[in-house]
Amino acid sequence: MYKYDNYDQAMVDARVAEFRDQINRRIAGEMTEDQFKPLRLMNGLYLQLHAYMLRVAIPYGTLDSRQMRMLAHIARKYDRDYGHFTTRQNIQYNWIKLEDCADILEELATVEMHAIQTSGNCIRNISSDQYAGAAADEVTDPRPWAELLRQWSTFHPEFSYLPRKFKIAVIASYEDRAAMRLHDIGLELVRKDGELGARVFVGGGMGRTPMIAPEINPFVKADDLLSYLEACLRVYNRYGRRDNMYKARIKILIHEIGADEYRRQVAEEFTHVKTLGIDPPLAELERISAFFAPPAYDAANVEPDRNDPDFALWLDQNVKPHKQAGYAIVNISLKPIGGIPGDATSAQIDVMADLAEKYSFDELRVTHAQNIVLPHVAKRDLYAVWQALRDAELADANLDLISDIIACPGLDYCSLANARSIPVAQKIATRFADMDRQRDLGELKLKISGCINACGHHHAGHIGILGVDKKGVENYQLTFGGSGAEDVSIGKIIGPGFDEDGVVDAVEKATEVYKALRKGDERFVDTYRRVGLEPFKEAIYG
Amino acid sequence: MKLLTGNDLVSGAVTWWTGNGWSIHVEDAADVGEHGEAILHAEEGARRVNAPYIIDALPTENGPRPAHIKDRIRALGPTVRTDLTLKPADPTAGDWII
Amino acid sequence: MVEFRYRTDEVTEQPSVTLDAFLDQSNATAVRLEPDDDARALIPFLDRLTLIEVAFPKFRDGRGYSAARILREAGYQGELRAQGDVLVDQIAYMRRCGFDSFAPEASLNPDAVARALAYYDHAYQGAADSAVPIWKLRHG
Ligand code: HEM
Ligand code: SF4
């Protein structure tokens, strides 16, 4: 894992001092809320339904046990004993006091964490593949590149008042576990003639106009990457729309001028920017990469004893192959049946930290599906890990099944919401609580957002649910056929919306149609793509 | 009736204008009638409230009931964590929201 | 009114003209850029300009940051002034993009500005100021 040097540490320490000063000026009345808002947002501090909400970055989703324990400590000391892991590899605290905020950041800084640029119209936390460094299919570990980008984008003087927020994801495998093409910039690291570089996709996103990012450049060399991104951002900063907040994302600019024209403008800007000498030498990427060297694997390749049926179920569902023989990737579901997707108590966070320290070379990951990963667990330890998880109510064996629901906070917490998301997730999970039934349905990604901003990725759900406000009453629209993976696609609305119970019934009917029509080992989304909407519509509205 | 609501600047807690101050209990909220804007500006200027706004509500025998579900959730707390609402001991408190 | 100036030369007395007026004819030496003006249009004339004023009608509109860098990258040495909705917490970024004078609409507290400029000793990335990026400090 990356370790801060004195420069990195000084940067977050200074940020704490600066933000403390900004908060003091606000409390003393030297700034209006209108002036303070963009400043607090640039540090992840929102005003939500019940209190201030603080979003803490977990850069590219990687953290160690010390950092994880700090997250638990913050939850206990300053919040109400829990945190919410989000689709952007951040954690949100829902009950923060403005007066505590600087102290929280000061504590976070002691473990190399921060809330820098977790909101605001700037470059946000860089997200990545939760299996980075452990997946057999990666061409390289994407995290050193993500760290390079984290540093480049931190306090970028030119790109801190962009037309709108800007999200970057980096992956390094064909399989896309990070919804890469639904980001403003998605980078897929590839190897060409032995050299590593990035395939650059620009202009994806969700929100009210979901778009899949087109490829803008098939290969940018490592030592050109920052110049190239600088060119991408500069064109956007100059020409992105600022007249209408809903049209301000880079996807709209690219949609309006076309990918070819955008590519041309970036190429022209790049020719100029490249002369400025802003690219670090490859030695910097190498310096960072050294921190991500593989751990000292030493376990023999023994298969775990599958005698305990609950354990065997969990093995089959939540444990994934590791590139190192003798090891496995453990997914910890934060989706207990009837629970709140992505929430974890401070005690659970501590348990996961302890397990990471003891069994996973001190590493944890946060996933965009709001789960946690122990990336490097020796197979001989799997049973012990499972037992500890089970005791902490963290052993639900539902990864990628219908109850592994992504849900945004919705109207229970979010001031922008039209409808509640969490109760819908709870009802659906409860309806499908039977594990045999869930496993029979197979991979089925269900994603819920409480409004069109799409924080719950509903556009990318095999089944998506969008909360809308129908004359003051919560109403839910269903979409089918989305995907945030390598088969990326945007779901289509199937028809009129439903009330809360109606949408649960409709989901159930859809699964029955799937069961009747599926061929071989087709997933729900495959069947839907093959047969189209009609049979589903008939069963649901019929 | 019209209510004036916002968040406490320092703690962020949801607050309601009572006629001579702020309370976290919507039951204490007073009808601001035509005076909402004036009170809002004075109170915001004095930093006794943050992000204030005026809402419609219905008077009931248990006190004012905000017209919009969002403000009812603000008044009580998250429906999915009744333990964290203002009425943690009352498991049916959430019914008031719907 | 210019409240903060980080240059030692004389202040230009000439009022600045719009970009269109400047491109039309003028031999003016001071010009004012609005957010949607293309800063690159000035590149052929940088030698004879002593003041470029960049307007920030709203602080959230960040186009002026790119304009400033583009002008400095093209070799402009004269005064580069940020005018308008310029706030304490923007000034450090503006300095890094090459602005060296500030005419905020609403007067700023000089102590707060001094503090804002002093928080960070280093910067991660190269920009239009003289700060040596951290990667360069690391690799000598
Ligand atoms: C509760 C406070 C939150 C607020 C006020 C908020 C606000 C927003 C807004 C306004 C957008 C739309 C941006 C646009 O289209 O220009 C958005 C998008 C998004 N948010 Fe949130 N959000 C919140 C929480 C979350 C949470 C909890 C998550 C993760 C579960 C999240 C993840 C995302 C993602 C992934 C997008 C889509 C990005 C895109 O449009 O490309 N947000 N959010
Ligand atoms: S999708 Fe809407 S309701 Fe859900 S968190 Fe985002 S802004 Fe809030």
Three-state SS annotation for A119-173: CCCCECCCEECCCCCCCCCECCCCHHHHHHHHHHHCCCCCCCCCCCCECEEEECE
Count residue pairs from A and C with Cβ separation < 8 A: 103
The answer to whether A121 contacts C109, with C-beta atoms less than 8 Å apart, is no
Mutate to test the interface with B, among A30, A50, A53, A78 (most CBs of B within 10 A): A50
**Where does the pLDDT of residue C127 fall: very low under 50, low under 70, confident under 90, or very high at 90 and above?**
very high
User: CA–CA separation, A130 vs A504, rounded Å?
Assistant: 30
Residue C124 structure tokens = 């991660």
User: What angle (nearest 5°) sits at the alpha carbon of residue A104, between those of residues A98 and A109?
Assistant: 140
CA distance to A279, A471, C128, per residue, from A273 (Å): 10, 51, 12
In terms of Cβ atoms closer than 10 Å to its own Cβ (0-12, 13-18, 19+), residue C1 is: exposed
Q: How many residues does the structure list for chain C?
A: 140
Q: pLDDT band for position C75 (50/70/90)? A: very high
Cα atoms in the 13 Å half-sphere on the side-chain side of A252: 20
Which residues form the domain of C12? Answer: 4-139
Class of domain A406-541: alpha beta
Instruction: Please name the residue of chain C whose CA is at the shortest distance from the CA of residue A156.
Output: C125
Cβ atoms of residues A367 and A384 within 8 Å: no
Question: Does B13 sit within 8 Å of A98, measured CB to CB?
Answer: no
Say if C41 is an interface residue toward chain A (CB within 8 Å): no
For residue B98, what pLDDT is reported?
Answer: 83
Ligand 2 binding pocket mutation candidate from A416, A448, A457, A469 (most atoms within 8 A of CB): A416
The whole-number average pLDDT for the span B17-21 is 96
For A202-226, the pLDDT digits (tens) are 999 999 999 999 999 999 999 999 9
Q: What percent of chain A has pLDDT over 90?
A: 97
Distance from residue A59's CA to the centre of ligand 1 (Å): 17
Q: Is the minimum distance from the CB of A461 to ligand 2 under 6 angstroms?
A: no
Distance separating alpha carbons of residues A396 and A441, to the nearest angstrom:
16
Given CATH 1.10.390.10, say whether it is the number of domain A309-391. Answer: no
pLDDT of residue C11: 86
CATH 3.40.50.150 fits A134-289, yes or no: no
Among A99, A413, A472, select the one facing B78 at the smallest CB separation: A413
Tell me, what CATH number does C124's domain have?
Answer: 3.40.50
Nearest-10 crossing angle of helices A33-41, A6-27: 160
ipTM of this complex:
0.97
Average pLDDT over residues A339-351: 98
Q: Does any CB of chain A come closer than 8 Å to the CB of residue B51? A: yes
Report whether residue A510 contacts ligand 2, using a CB cutoff of 6 Å.
no
Ligand 1 neighbour A341 (Cβ under 6 A): no
pLDDT value at residue C14: 82
Which of chain A's residues have a Cβ under 8 Å away from the Cβ of B14?
Answer: 49-51
Please give the pLDDT value at position B91. Answer: 82
Segment A413-456, tens digit of pLDDT: 999 999 999 999 999 999 999 999 999 999 999 999 999 999 99
Q: C9 — contact with chain A (CB < 8 Å)?
A: no
Compare all CA atoms of chain B with the CA of A423 and give the residue at the minimum distance. B80
Structurally, chain C folds into a number of domains equal to 1
A265 has a pLDDT exceeding 90: yes
B41 exposure class (CB count in 10 Å sphere: 0-12, 13-18, 19+): exposed
Separation of CA A457 and ligand 2 centre (Å): 10
| Selection from A397, A388, A433, A391 nearest residue A315 by Cα | A397
Identify the pLDDT of residue A17.
95
What is the maximal distance between C-alpha atoms in chain B?
39
Do A6-109 and A406-541 come out as alike in CATH topology? no
Q: What is the pLDDT of residues B55-88, one digit of tens each?
A: 999 999 989 999 999 999 999 999 999 999 999 9
pLDDT, average across residues A146-159: 98
Q: In a 3-state reduction of DSSP, which class is residue C12?
A: coil
Contact across the interface for A7 and C137, Cβ inside 8 Å: yes
Judge whether residue A35 has pLDDT over 90.
Answer: no
CA distance B16 to B1: 14
pLDDT value at residue A95: 97
Tell me what pLDDT residue A34 has. Answer: 87
Instruction: Please tell me which residue of chain A has the smallest CA distance to B94.
Output: A412
> What's the whole-number average pLDDT of chain A?
97
Residue C140: the pLDDT is 79
Q: Which ligand is nearest to the CA of A166?
A: 1
pTM of the model: 0.95
Beta strands in A229-326 (DSSP E): 319-321
* Token pair 């959230």 in the structure block, residue: C60
Q: How many CB atoms lie within 10 A of CB C120?
A: 18
Q: What is the Cα–Cα distance from A264 to A360, expressed in whole angstroms? A: 46
Residue of chain A nearest C34, judged by CA positions: A238
- For A360-375, write each residue's pLDDT tens digit: 999 999 999 999 999 9
pLDDT at position C13 over 80? no
Contact A412 B7 (CB under 8 A): no
- pLDDT at site A89: 87
pLDDT score, position A542: 86
Domain boundaries, chain A: 6-109, 134-289, 309-391, 406-541
pLDDT band at A159 (very low <50, low <70, confident <90, very high): very high
Tell me which architecture the domain covering A6-109 has in CATH.
Answer: Alpha-Beta Complex (3.90)
Mean pLDDT of A10-18: 96
Q: Ligand 1 pocket test: pick from A246, A453, A458, A459 the residue with the most ligand atoms within 8 Å of its Cβ.
A: A453
What gap in Å lies between CA A147 and CA A135, rounded to an integer?
A: 19
* C76 and chain A in contact, CB less than 8 A: no
pLDDT, one tens digit per residue, over A524-538 is: 999 999 999 999 999
CA-based nearest residue to B83, from A47, A95, A404: A95
